[in-house]
């Protein structure tokens, strides 16, 4: 199990499109990924649940990754949140994976 604290840096926060990209990325992994924020815990593969977190700029999220590819997922998350996801789109994620 890996715990990973991430602070949202992008101006608009974790809005719908990046949420979709995040879900797309995570749904490929075999690990169970949860996001903890305050007293909430949601499934990170569920776009609706992530939206409910309303993670605006500066929000601190605690990712809990549990599974065989957890190391990999942790690295991907790190890269994802360091990237400028405002500008990213689904194809880029696709090519990155290929």
Partner 1 sequence: MKNNKNKNLILKGIAASSGIVIGRVFLLKNYDIAPIDNIRIPLSERSREVRRFHEAVVDTKLEMNETREKINKALGESYAKIADVHLFMLEDPIMIKDVTDKINKGISAEYAVYDFTRGIALSLEAEKDGYFKERAADIKEVSKRIIHNLISKKGKTISLEDVGKNSVVVAHNLTPADTVSMKEKFVLGFATDIGGKTSHTAIVANGLGIPAVVGLANISQSAETGDEIIIDGNKGLVILNPEKEILEKYKKEIKDFTVVKKELEKLKDLPASTIDGYSVEVFGNIENPNEAASVLSMGAAGIGLYRTEFIYFNRADLPDESDHFDACVKVVENMNGFPTVIRTADLGGDKLADLGLLKLEREKNPFMGLRAIRLCLKYPDLFIKQLRGILRASAKGKINLLYPMISNVDELREADKILQGVKEDLRKEKIPFDENIKRGIMIEVPCAAMISDILAKEVDFFSIGTNDLIQYSMAADRVNENVARLYDPLHPAILRFIKMIIDSGHNAGIKVAMCGEMAGDPFYTPILLGLGLDEFSVSLSQIPKIKKIVRSVKIEDMKEFARQILQCGDRDKIEEIVESINLSEDKTDV
> Which positions are annotated as active-site residues?
15
Residue 90 binds to partner 1 (criterion: CB under 8 A): yes
| Shortest Å distance, C-beta 51 to partner 1 | 5
Using CB under 8 A, pick the residue from 3, 7, 9, 12 that binds partner 1.
Answer: 12
Exposure string over 65-83, b if 16+ CB within 10 A, otherwise e:
beeeebeebbebbeebbeb
Pairing of strands 40-43, 2-7: unpaired
User: For binding to partner 1 (CB under 8 A), which residues are involved?
Assistant: 12-13, 15-17, 19-20, 23-24, 27, 42-43, 45-49, 51-52, 54, 56, 89-91
């Amino acid at each position: 199990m890996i715990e990973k604290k991430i602070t949202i840096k992008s101006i608009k926060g974790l809005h719908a499109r990046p949420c979709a990209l995040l879900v797309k990325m995570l749904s490929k992994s075999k690990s169970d990924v949860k996001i903890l924020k305050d007293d909430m815990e949601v499934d990170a593969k569920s776009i609706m649940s992530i939206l409910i977190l309303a993670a605006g700029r500066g929000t601190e999220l605690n990712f809990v990754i549990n599974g065989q590819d957890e190391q990999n997922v942790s690295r991907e998350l790190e890269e994802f949140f360091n990237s400028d996801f405002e500008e990213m789109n689904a194809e880029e994620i696709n090519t990155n994976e290929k």
